[in-house]
């Protein structure tokens, strides 16, 4: 299939290698220096776009893809206030929009485990919950999109939790996300339940960008020919 990479930083380069290894063609590599090349692309040249850019440009990038009829897989976080508008545009245009806060298969299994554990813990009011995320110093948004997804899973399944906060002492109705930026850490996420007598903890530690990149390519392969709004739960049938 013919793939456009919209955003060609470190992640884009890892995606490129995996896509080529799986027999696909990269028909364009778009960044801030050659945006005009994207504008010149036509539907006959493109099977899917994989968008990993910057929070400040993701919204316009995804809109441009949908306006041109390109199925788009987006992994950029930090712009979710505009996501409902993009989803509505995808439906209006009969297009395909795939978004995930994290494309790692392991992380998406972790999301489900997080929800299951929260359901089990919910009756046990002696536990206090928090989540920690650690990423490399080049990551632009804080907290990570993955941490937000984890916190939303907690809010969904723990009575009395209504919102998350970042790097602040939480109120009773809040879930604390503690964010840190250290060295070249690809991504670590931890959920802790602490009581006076014990602690329960689950974690996911990424060893590199390969897992995220493979998931994005799998999503691009999966979305071709589909119409609608999708995520990793659809791809993995979770």
Name the residues annotated as catalytic.
135, 139
Using CA atoms, how far apart are residues 201 and 53, in angstroms rounded to an integer? Answer: 32
- Angle between helix 105-121 and helix 145-157 axes, rounded to 10 deg: 30
CA 72, distance to chain mean position in Å, is: 13
**228: phi > 0 → left, psi -120 to 50 → alpha, else beta; which?**
left
β 188-194/199-205 pair status: antiparallel
Contact by Cβ (8 Å): 114, 191: yes
* Structure tokens, 150: 């984890």
Quick one: which of 189, 235, 238 has its CA closest to 215?
235
Contact by Cβ (8 Å): 74, 58: yes
Element (H, E) at 48: strand 48-51
DSSP one-letter string for 50-67: EE---HHHHHHHHHHHHH
């Amino acid at each position: 299939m013919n793939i456009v990479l919209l955003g060609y930083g470190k992640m884009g380069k890892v995606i490129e290698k995996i896509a080529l290894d799986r027999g696909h063609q990269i028909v364009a590599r778009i960044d801030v220096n050659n945006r005009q090349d994207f504008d010149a692309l036509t539907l006959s040249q493109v099977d899917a776009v994989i968008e990993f850019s910057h929070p400040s440009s993701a919204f316009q990038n995804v809109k441009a893809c949908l306006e041109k009829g390109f199925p788009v897989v987006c992994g950029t976080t930090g712009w979710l206030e505009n996501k409902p508008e993009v989803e509505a545009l995808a439906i209006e245009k009969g297009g395909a929009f795939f978004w995930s806060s994290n494309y790692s298969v392991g992380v998406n299994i972790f999301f489900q485990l997080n929800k299951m554990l929260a359901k089990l813990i919910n009756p046990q009011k002696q536990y206090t919950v928090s989540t920690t995320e650690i990423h490399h110093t080049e990551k632009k948004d804080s907290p990570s999109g993955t941490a937000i997804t984890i916190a939303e899973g907690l809010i969904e399944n723990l009575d009395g939790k209504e919102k998350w906060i970042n790097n602040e002492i939480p109120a009773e109705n809040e879930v604390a996300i503690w964010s840190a930026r250290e060295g070249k850490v690809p991504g670590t996420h931890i959920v802790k339940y602490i009581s006076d007598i014990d602690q329960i903890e689950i974690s996911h530690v990424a060893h590199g960008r390969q897992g995220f990149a493979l998931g994005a390519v799998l999503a691009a392969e999966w979305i071709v020919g589909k119409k609608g709004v999708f995520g990793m739960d659809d791809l993995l049938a979770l």
